[in-house]
Structure 1
């Protein structure tokens, strides 16, 4: 298996004309071709500016109830010749339990040195620096509203799906036991969240938190220093 540059892949894919490829600067531009191809949608409210556009995939998040969510950074080391077969086997084994997606736009492996240096100087888990992709597994239903008869979440289905996602991630963890996760797209119930979200940066972040917010005024679920407080953030542990 060989990983070709993205341009070569898109150029050789039927229906992927070079005119349909966009630079990062143009990604959110509300152009006619993007509307025609369905890449973006326009605000259909009366009088809304033509520049009001949004990504169609985000539309489904209104009223969304997540059943489960996991993410993991996949190291570029897994693409080495002696590890590719194991990677392919792990990905396949995971899909026997639940579908997954590989987001190649989120890993920084192969990025220019200045981009790596800039990212290293952030709070993100350093695993992103060597990741060729972020693998994501998730399940949801929509819309669903607790307490509204006929529109309540399907709890039984949510539990089944959550367990399936857990089994799928278990297959990937056999290959990479501590891959790290992207905090903005991760498991709400992550047990080792300090390591998963921030890795070796957590000690430094904790020191900053202690210095500038020693009483824990600012609190968020699985945020830096939240292990010192009850789940509602009002009682010290």
Structure 2
């Protein structure tokens, strides 16, 4: 991969995109700058293009405002974002007010990570480790996960499924926390009960065009081989 911005391929790509964008701006009749009178544009070209820079700032703000208005009606939708790490754009991060969504549906959202130190909040690290994500992003992601599953949690309120679903919103599965139910002075009938869980297994994925030509050999025992040995015996 290319890691330097001064690589010839990167420089050539940026120049091509700048020329492509400049050509589009010239032909874009909907641009704010092109809506100005011709004599204003001519004087601005002679005086350094300050009006063009000003209209660019205004247009950038209007684009941001348009996207915000468009997303306003979708803020309360129960959707899973593509947020994966802090390296992605801010638009893919969890909502910073996800706790308010929970309170709007009747669930009081307590403050998470209240015992965190200043260094952990500001630099995303402690004395020994560097965190992969920022604490406030993790907190908002947990809130949003609970919000997405809140309808199911309410419907199964008071049951083991409800508590298990709530804990899994924190990224904790049965390998860390498992519920045991005990009854006082109650009769317990032994049954062959089954528990649904998620198990990670190492597999090989052949569902890719680059792996269609792979050969798979299966043998009932490890002593068998995948070729015919030479022999002088006549058959």
TM-score > 0.5, shorter chain as reference: no
Report TM bin, short chain: under 0.3
TM-score (norm 2): 0.24
Structure number having the greater strand percentage: 1
TM-score (norm 1): 0.23
